[in-house]
Amino acid sequence: MKKTMILFVLAFVFAGLAIYQYTQNGSDSVTEAAADSSVEFKPKAGSKSLSFELPGLGDETYAVGGEGEKLTLVNFWASWCGPCELEAPDLQKLYTQYGDRIALYGVNATNFDKERSAREFVEEQGFTFPILMDRDGNITKAYKVNAFPTTFVIDSEGIIRERVNGVITYEEWQRMIEKWA
């Protein structure tokens, strides 16, 4: 009985150390474009957005954030996320309806997902807006995304106007776009 308890405690300690190391791994690995501003960056309404570059599904590079011509929606998601699947048709509908007034980017948290599954998800959902692959997780971490889906609404001056955690109705998306576009 004593041996079992000691083994259990040791396993618990090692598991805790492994989790700690996993969560701390890469804390210094913010992309160079974000390195200077990541310390001060607060991903919430009213804050300046963090500019970043990520590869798309075809490995073309997309630059996102900062000042632009359109309202920008940056949606962080994963293929295994049930709420992301619920939200997907509305995102595609928004892009179809407002694509001339907004820029919409889906950012797959690839370090928490499988790229193959993400590609299948995109195909199944029929996404026509750019899907970016955050393979090392630096952007997901910099934006402090720890629940999926999470969407940032960024105005043309590069200011985050809304942070949406979870799924909202299509009508709420429409109101938000009308308010900030």
Q: Please state the domain extents for the chain.
A: 1-30, 33-180
If you average pLDDT over residues 101-105, what whole number do you get? 97
What is the pTM (predicted TM-score) of this model? Answer: 0.77
Out of 3.20.20.450, 3.40.30.10, 3.90.960.10, 3.90.220.20, the CATH code matching 33-180 is 3.40.30.10
- CA distances to 12, 16, 18, 19, 20 from 7, in Å: 8, 14, 16, 18, 20
**Residue 122: partners with Cβ closer than 8 Å, 6 or more residues away:** 57, 106, 131
Average pLDDT over every residue of 90-103: 97
Burial of 134 (0-12, 13-18, 19+ CB in 10 A): buried
| Whole-number pLDDT of residue 29 | 31
